[in-house]
Structure 1
């Protein structure tokens, strides 16, 4: 089944997992094959879900360090995550036996973005300490560091050859991974968002667009080659400055975001029109995370509970 406006409008919550978490789920990530979803929560838990059977598989805890920004590595039984207690070290965990494989120390303030390379063992982190660091899973030492002005967010492109850094909520710099120490090969200046900060960047699957999440009532889309503003998506609620994830559908046809009032908003990526506003079962709690499964026709959203969505074929 291909994604269309009708299919999108027919998505319904198929499974609701209420009892896995006692605090908000702060990040989720699908495995590359779409068979597994991992979540991290402010209650220090890591929950692994089986997407094919639609059930939680395993729960691990990071009580001492806390857990945020969880990401699968290329091996489905390992992940990286940032800490939200004690220090700002990034941790590399074996999900099989719940043992740390490696620590990545260096950041001196909260890590605000974490992006795994789509092609190899390198990953990017950015922090309130105004640095972006490049790492390799095989070494605890930072492979490269950029000192920037202002809060940065960073993400790899789908081919893993370049990465984008959003700085000060007003400019995007693109770097070639092989020569990033020479500085950016291009810089886009955007009109600064006065009322909100950028909280995340994502490339579309074809690498042609960059989606900018904010902690305000707007999501921006720009052309990844020219930097031109393509769309601004609005209509979802975010008056409290909370982190609401925005995502592309796998074919980059749609943009999705949660909302402060528990709804899920979906726009046509190209023309910016609202395709659907879906009622979640998160009881009016803010929907912090929204992601499409990369391989299967399913959607995951989270607040303190986790929802798996499927299209209702009968509608």
Structure 2
């Protein structure tokens, strides 16, 4: 089944989960699409089975707190940031809820964490104005970059380059093999006066970069030339919360939540809004992610919702 405007419009909430007592602060699908993992401000990690539509396991991280949870390439391990004690990144075995390794170094809150799509490398960015490059096999940082402001960062789908968004005004591209030489290209964008960049993502085909904000706009730029392609506006975000927007697996659509319970969807080809879907969320929908393998997406506030296309015929 291929995604089309019609399919997008037909998406409905198929299941709502109320496993959490506080805001879900991050979600991540496994690359095989069979499970999704979430972390929450209530210090819990919940794994859901996407095929059966059931919660699978709940783990707790009461001591360190948990944020920005990410699957590694093994579905039984994950990385996450801490919300208590210090700003160390932790590598967790989901199988027995034990830590495999710690990655110390950041001195302020970690605000971006990304696993390489091809190997055991990952990158982290922090309010301490640094981006660090790591390897899961060593607790020592493999590379350190000092920046002029808060970073957002992401790997491209090939895992050969990464993009860093700095000060909500420029995107710098680095080659992983020689990133210590500095960026090989920099794109400057008009600065948003009333919001900050909160996330950056490459499209699955590697041609586009999506910039999420804590305001009511998203920006889409060309990943090669940095040309601004589209601005997606009209999202309700009165509380200034960071809203995670995501691409569909075919790169043709962008989905984003809002603070008023709506999911917005635009076409990346035309920039037109395709749908406003009503999600039954009591709080701000901070996360929307499309399953990489199956025709479903997930949205999260304090609750988690699974969406499926439901046709009336």
TM score, norm. by length of structure 2 = 0.99
After superposition, the C-alpha distances for 1:234-282 in whole angstroms (9 at most, x for unaligned) are 1111122101100000001100000011111101112211100011111
- Secondary structure of 1:97's partner? coil
| Partner residue in 1 for 2:112 | 113
Structure 1 segments, 4+ long, off by >4 Å, are none
Residue 135 (structure 1) aligns with: 134
Bigger drift between 237-246 and 116-125 goes to 237-246
Matched residue, 1:191: 190
Counterpart of 2:49 in structure 1 is 50
Moved more, 231-240 or 153-162: 231-240
Partner of 1:4: 4
Instruction: String of CA shifts for 1:12-51, please: whole Å, max 9, x gaps.
Output: 1111002x10001010000000001000000000000000
Aligned ranges for residues 44-193 of structure 1 at < 5 Å?
44-193=43-192
The question of 1:314 aligning with 2:312 is answered yes
Q: What is residue 294 of structure 2 aligned with on the other side?
A: 296
CA distance in 1, matches of 2:21, 2:238: 24
Deviation, 1:313, is 2.7
Alignment partner, residue 231 of structure 1: 230
Q: CA deviation at 1:84?
A: 1.1
SS at match of 1:150: coil
What secondary structure, in the 3-state scheme, does the structure 2 residue paired with 1:207 have? Answer: coil
Q: What is aligned with 2:285?
A: 287
Instruction: Give unmatched runs, 5+ long, in structure 1.
Output: none
Aligned to 2:15: 15
Deviation (angstroms), 1:287:
0.3
Deviations 1:96-140 (A, max 9, x none): 000000000000000000010000000000000000000000000
Superposed CA deviations along residues 190-243 of structure 1, whole A, max 9, x for unmatched, are 111111100000000111100000000100000010000000001111122101
- The structure 2 residue matched to 1:305, chosen from 298, 303, 306, is 303
Root mean square deviation, CA, Å = 0.7
Within 2, Cα distance between the matches of 1:291 and 1:72?
14
| Secondary structure at the counterpart of residue 275 of structure 2 | strand
- In 2, the alpha carbon distance for the partners of 1:205 and 1:169 equals 23
Measured in 1, the distance between the counterparts of 2:269 and 2:190 equals 20
Partner of 2:199: 200
Query: How much does 1:314 deviate?
Result: 2.6
Quote the offset at 1:78 in angstroms.
0.2
Whole-angstrom CA distance in 1 between matches of 2:180 and 2:89: 22
CA distance in 1, matches of 2:270, 2:129: 34
SS at match of 1:7: helix
